[in-house]
Amino acid sequence: MPRIVVFLCLLVLSIFATAQKQEGLALTPPMGWNSWNTFACDIDETLIKETADALVDSGMRDAGYIYLNLDDCWHGERDENGFIHPDPERFPSGMKALADYVHSKGLKFGIYSDAGDETCAGRPGSNGYEFQDALQYARWGVDYLKYDWCKTENLSAPGAYRTMRDALSRVGRPVVLSICEWGDNDPWLWGEEMGHLWRTTGDIINCWDCEVDHGTWSSWGILRILDMQEGLRKYAGPGHWNDPDMMEVGNGMSESEDRAHFSLWAMLSAPLIAGNDVRNMSKTTREILTNKDVIAINQDALGVQGFKYKEDLDRGLEYWFKPLANKEWAMLVLNRSDEDQKIRFEFKKEDVIDPDFADQGYGFNANFSRARYDIYDVWEKKELGTTRRTLKTTVKAHDVVMYRLTKITEEKPH
């Protein structure tokens, strides 16, 4: 029997050249939860079941957070046929039983591996075992794979991710493939062909504007990662997203910083993967993460990433816009500074045109001088009139204001 298993694996591998990425997945940015930011390697099946329960009870599942993803350190050893098994002490019931529990809650189940010989935490990687791992994941009922890039010396990133893509495509189960090579090999240039999202930077950390130097690599605060997204929006869209990493909402920053972080990720059409302990989150954290109006901007069917329209460097202000379906727009003003800032925005004097997609239709030109829009504040939950008026407000330090603009008239030029 072992020889038959190996032969079948080799047979399938021999026809991988014709395999393709699984289509029809992640047509909007994936939403869910991942274990790493809060728990790192301290995970077990009790934690995962409790988290599944909390995602349901908190309203997060119903808000769209459907992927419950294990990160590194779930691994045990490979058997005599090369198939990976979970750590028997941490996951005594096995991954199939755990996936079944997650699925019973109306959630999808995600897992982690690495393209190299070992994962970043030293567990068995998938290099040379891609088909066996994909087959094992399908047997367990896995719906999402985060695929990391540690211990990958002498490997080609496009080649390694293509191999896992091909393996997943052959096992008969739809699996979202999350490319996690930290932007080192310009994955936005080739990622659409290989997977459904790709990391654009190194790891995030729960601070507003900092770099934490680990020697050979760094972790980055919210604003640092935001700045690294410049120039990448034209590569993203339905089924292929830029990923600025999992969220740190609820992990120790201020309420204003959490609100800004969440809003910016929504404007970036980023995957909304929570990284907090959802079992014990505050009411404020839950309300931020489940704001349906902000989520709707992120999940908009048009799938166009937002852009920075202009900035006021002296006061630390940035004005962002994001085209939405039905010729609507999202607008955000970010205050990067340590002081509250008053703003005044005269819509009729602003010519907001999408810098990358304007040639795709009139909907990518806000045309505020001729068109009139209703203004809805998505955090304050109130109507603010129309764009015929000048927007005047105060943006708190390390915070944002965010609006949805809905067209109501198209006026003739005077």
**185 vs 180: CA distance, rounded Å:** 11
Query: What is the radius of gyration, based on Cα positions, of the chain?
Result: 22
**400 vs 268: CA distance, rounded Å:** 14
Q: Are strands 329-335 and 341-346 parallel, antiparallel or unpaired?
A: unpaired
> Residues 270, 316, 201, CA angle at the centre, nearest 5°?
30
Distance of CA 407 to the CA centre of its chain: 29
**136 vs 84: CA distance, rounded Å:** 7
**Residue 209 burial (CB < 10 Å; 0-12/13-18/19+)?**
middle
Which active-site residues does the annotation give? 148, 203
Helix (H) or strand (E) holding 47: helix 45-57
How far CA 51 is from CA of 7, 48, 73, 102, 406, in Å, comes to 39, 5, 17, 9, 37
Q: Which among 401, 63, 65, 62 is positioned nearest to 264, based on CA atoms? A: 401
In terms of residues, how long is the chain?
Answer: 414
In sequence order, what DSSP letters do the residues of 391-406 get, joined into one string?
Answer: EEEEEPTTEEEEEEEE
**149 vs 113: CA distance, rounded Å:** 9
Q: Which amino acid is at 255?
A: E
**40 vs 61: CA distance, rounded Å:** 22
For residues 200 and 178, is the Cβ–Cβ distance under 8 A? no
